[in-house]
Amino acid sequence: MKSYVAKPCDVNRKWYVVDAKDVVLGRLATEVASILRGKKNVRFQPSFDMGDYVIVVNAEKVKLTGNKLQQKEHRYYTGYSNGLKAISYEKMLQTKPEKVIELAVKGMLPKNTLGRQMFKKLKVYAGPEHNHEAQQPEVLTLSK
């Protein structure tokens, strides 16, 4: 018996549209990360990018449970000494709502070149419109 090894020409990538309106951030991120990795694919291989493209719309209307909106912070380092900065998710949703979903999904992908390649297939938009109609994306509904 021989093992199946995927080749780039064997992968047929689909496009999905996910509406983030009133969906909990963590539940949205796990579903999107699973699609980006290709875990629902029958021929899934952890060492190969089998995933599909995902378009997330209405990022500004994503929901955080509990007091996370005020208490949760995104910390990043600027590169300078004493350059540790923090921004609350409440402020981030007002200024850069796409970044909230991108950070959540990126944390659920592998931390290597394969994960960075998968992350490039994620497109996030703050409003209800996107410019990927030519790819004929399928609508993917998530449970709230």
pLDDT at 9 over 90: no
Taking residues 22-42, what's their average pLDDT?
95
Each residue's pLDDT tens digit, 64-90: 999 999 999 999 999 999 999 999 999
Annotation: CATH topology of 13-64+97-139:
Ribosomal Protein L13p; Chain: A; (3.90.1180)
Do 86 and 74 form a contact (C-beta atoms < 8 A)?
Answer: yes
What is the bridge-based pairing of β-strands 15-19 and 122-124? unpaired
pLDDT in the model for residue 144: 65
Residue 15 DSSP SS3: strand
Whole-prediction pTM value?
Answer: 0.92
What is the bridge-based pairing of β-strands 84-88 and 73-77? antiparallel
Q: Find all residues with CB under 8 Å of 70, minimum gap 6, and list them.
A: 88, 90
Each residue's pLDDT tens digit, 100-124: 999 999 999 999 999 999 999 999 9
Q: Report percent pLDDT > 90 for the chain.
A: 84
Each residue's pLDDT tens digit, 41-65: 888 889 999 999 999 999 999 999 9
